[in-house]
Amino acid sequence: MLVSAKEMLTKAKAGKYAVGQFNINNLEWTKSILLTAEELKSPVILGVSEGAGKYMTGYKTVAAMVKAMIEDLGITVPVALHLDHGSYEGAKACIEAGFSSIMFDGSHYPIEENIEKTKELVAICNEKGLSLEAEVGSIGGEEDGVIGKGECADPDECKAVADLGVTMLAAGIGNIHGKYPENWEGLSFETLDAIQAKTGDMPLVLHGGTGIPEDMIKKAISLGVAKINVNTECQLSFADATRKYIEAGKDLEGKGFDPRKLLAPGAEAIKATVKEKMELFGSVGKA
Ligand code: 13P
């Protein structure tokens, strides 16, 4: 069932668990994530970066594929199709294409401009019944070629953006996309606590879910995080399983070169990663 992320995140915040956002790159990714969510009776958010959207030939193709796949696979759990780190133009294109949820990442604009653009998108999303994620304080690491520093958001700015009526708020708390460096200082729970105190019931979003130690994930959920984004970890497990298949020479055995066989170990590896995360985030059985 394709739905906005509002209800699933309101329930997650109240129930002190988090819904996973898993980024999709192709059909295999999408199928693995949807089947795992259904098997575990977990709500799920499919994230699409602008780069991945382009790779899959455009947002309309992505929306059509996801909607048809939900129907053909008989998926009954709530699924949100969410633009990840959208630009202002990307947000409008995804609203048009039929996404059920949008992230507008205005964190690189001065706060006044971030507020102005977010406010405009809140009005459009409200009218269409879509959920909207806003961001304050950029997330570190690389996202589609854009490098962020991993700063900590200002709790007052978070409150100003939360008060615009967004559905969920991504706030930098020292988190980074991709692998964490050896000398990473960890999440700033002081910042998270201060943001939660100012934003109340607002579901908070933790980006850069790959490689955060389990105890930090659990603590972040206890402090108001209701959505956690995972991308790199699925990519790594897919690549690892594919490499092992090829290194074992299985692509040369029988019909092992058939893409349906060649990509199967990677697709299974994604299922295992998604399952592990849903169990850690506490969303199993919450659909
Ligand atoms: P990772 O790639 O670090 O898992 O982060 C994903 C993310 O935050 C997407 O917005």
Of the residues 87, 133, 230, 233, which should be mutated to test ligand 1's pocket, given the most ligand atoms within 8 Å of the CB? 230
Site of tokens 């909607």: 67
Residue of minimum CA distance from atom 9 in ligand 1: 229
Integer Cα distance of 145 and 243 in angstroms: 25
Report the pLDDT value the prediction gives residue 215, as an integer from 0 to 100.
97
What ligand 1 atom has the least distance to the C-alpha of 211?
3
Of the residues 177, 179, 270, 281, which should be mutated to test ligand 1's pocket, given the most ligand atoms within 8 Å of the CB? 177
Q: What are 104-135's pLDDT values in tens digits?
A: 999 889 999 999 999 999 999 999 999 999 99
Of the residues 22, 87, 232, which should be mutated to test ligand 1's pocket, given the most ligand atoms within 8 Å of the CB? 232
Q: Distance from the CA of 274 to the center of ligand 1, in angstroms?
A: 13
Residue 67 has pLDDT above 90, yes or no: yes
Alpha-carbon dihedral of residues 104, 137, 5, 58, nearest 10 degrees? 40
Site of tokens 């990840």: 84
Q: Distance from the CA of 228 to the center of ligand 1, in angstroms?
A: 9
Residue of minimum CA distance from atom 5 in ligand 1: 208
pTM: predicted TM-score of the whole model, two decimal places: 0.95
Report the pLDDT value the prediction gives residue 40, as an integer from 0 to 100.
98
Residue 139 three-state SS: coil
Integer Cα distance of 225 and 154 in angstroms: 17
Q: For residue 143, name the pLDDT band (cuts at 50, 70, 90).
A: low
Q: Distance from the CA of 229 to the center of ligand 1, in angstroms?
A: 5
What ligand 1 atom has the least distance to the C-alpha of 175?
3
Mean pLDDT of the chain, nearest integer: 95
Integer Cα distance of 121 and 103 in angstroms: 10
Q: What are 31-64's pLDDT values in tens digits?
A: 999 999 999 999 999 999 999 999 999 999 999 9
User: What is the share, in percent, of the chain residues with pLDDT greater than 90?
Assistant: 90
Q: Which residues are catalytically annotated?
A: 84
CB-based contacts of 132, cutoff 8 Å, min separation 6: 101, 102, 103, 104, 118, 121, 122, 125, 166, 167, 168
% helix, strand, coil for the chain, step of 5: 50, 20, 30
Integer Cα distance of 198 and 155 in angstroms: 7
Instruction: Kindly state the average pLDDT of the residues 236-242.
Output: 98
Please, which contacts does 231-234 make with residues 24 or more away whose CB atoms are closer than 8 Å?
231/22, 231/23, 231/47, 231/49, 231/84, 231/177, 232/177, 232/178, 232/179, 233/209, 233/273, 233/277, 234/22, 234/23, 234/29, 234/270, 234/273, 234/274
Q: What are phi and psi of 144, to 5 degrees?
A: 50, 45
Which residues does ligand 1 sit against, CB inside 6 Å? 23, 47, 84-85, 177-178, 207-210, 229-233
